């Protein structure tokens, strides 16, 4: 009799716990099926970013990363490089590029470097001539490491910048696509 009572309590506790988890986390797993941009925006232009950092091809890497991310996650948006005919435009300026040694080896040489890139981003709705998003101090950081052995040397700076460009693009596109405050 005691065993049957214990089994009923265990089943009841399991059922309650299951219902608790299902009801509490149901919203977390809803698939996102549409973007939160105003419905009038069907085409987004991403013209080449400006390079005020004077770092070779950095603007190209960041522009291309934003284009790729919009194509990948744009949910039906048409993406183009030209402003003509676009409903919205993503404008960017790479303001600065810095790298500094942050960890030295036993001989006093820098082995790990930190890269800091600052950018200005503005998203304009061309149909209503208004700004949807503006961040003039968008800062991203990444790091890379030099190998101790010169025979195994591979410059990690370029891959670090590529990773930062992807993170930058993911952040911009997430903000643009999932922003709930935008006027519909």
Residues 28-58 have pLDDT tens digits of 444 444 456 778 888 999 999 999 988 888 8
**Long-range contacts from 145-148, C-beta under 8 angstroms, 24+ separation:** 145/111, 145/112, 145/113, 146/110, 146/111, 146/112, 146/113, 148/105, 148/111
Q: How many CA atoms lie within 13 A of 47 on its CB side?
A: 15
Higher-pLDDT residue of 129 and 12 is: 129
Identify the pLDDT of residue 176.
80
Domain edges within the chain: 1-30, 38-178
pTM for the predicted model, two decimal places: 0.69
Q: How many Cα atoms occupy the beta-carbon half-sphere of 78 within 13 Å?
A: 12
What is the topology classification, in CATH, of domain 38-178?
Double Stranded RNA Binding Domain (3.30.160)
* Model pLDDT, residue 99: 79
Q: Which pLDDT score is estimated for 184? A: 43
Considering only CA atoms, which of 66, 119, 57 is closest in space to residue 89?
Answer: 66
- Residue 152 pLDDT greater than 60, yes or no: no
Is a pLDDT exceeding 90 seen at residue 120?
yes
- Residue 23's pLDDT is 54
Kindly give, in sequence order, each residue whose CB lies less than 8 Å from that of residue 119, ignoring residues fewer than 6 positions away: 49, 62, 92, 93, 94, 95, 138, 139, 140, 168
Gap between the Cα atoms of 105 and 111, Å rounded: 6
What pLDDT, on the 0 to 100 scale, is given for residue 90? 93
- Alpha-carbon dihedral sign for residues 9, 13, 14, 16: positive
Centre a 10 Å sphere on the Cβ of residue 56 and count the other Cβ atoms it contains. Answer: 10
Residue 107: alpha-carbon gap to chain centroid: 37
- Burial of 163 (C-beta count, 10 Å sphere; 0-12/13-18/19+): middle
* Percent share of the chain, pLDDT over 90: 26
């Amino acid at each position: 009799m005691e065993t049957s009572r214990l089994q009923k309590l265990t089943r009841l506790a399991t059922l309650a716990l299951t219902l608790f988890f299902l009801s509490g986390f149901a919203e977390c797993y809803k698939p996102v099926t549409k973007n939160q941009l105003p419905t009038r925006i069907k085409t987004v232009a991403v013209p080449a970013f400006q390079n005020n950092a004077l770092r070779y091809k950095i603007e190209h890497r960041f522009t291309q990363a934003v284009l790729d991310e919009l194509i990948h996650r744009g949910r039906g948006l048409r993406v183009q490089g030209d402003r003509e005919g676009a409903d919205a435009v993503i404008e960017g300026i790479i303001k600065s590029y810095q790298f500094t040694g942050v960890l030295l080896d036993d001989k006093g040489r820098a082995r790990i470097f930190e890269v800091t890139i600052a950018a200005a981003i503005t998203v304009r709705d061309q149909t209503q001539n208004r700004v949807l998003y503006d961040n003039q101090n968008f800062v991203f950081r990444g790091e890379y490491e030099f190998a101790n052995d010169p025979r195994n040397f591979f410059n990690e700076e370029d891959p670090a910048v590529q990773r930062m460009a992807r993170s930058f693009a993911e952040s911009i596109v997430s903000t643009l696509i999932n922003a709930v405050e935008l006027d519909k």
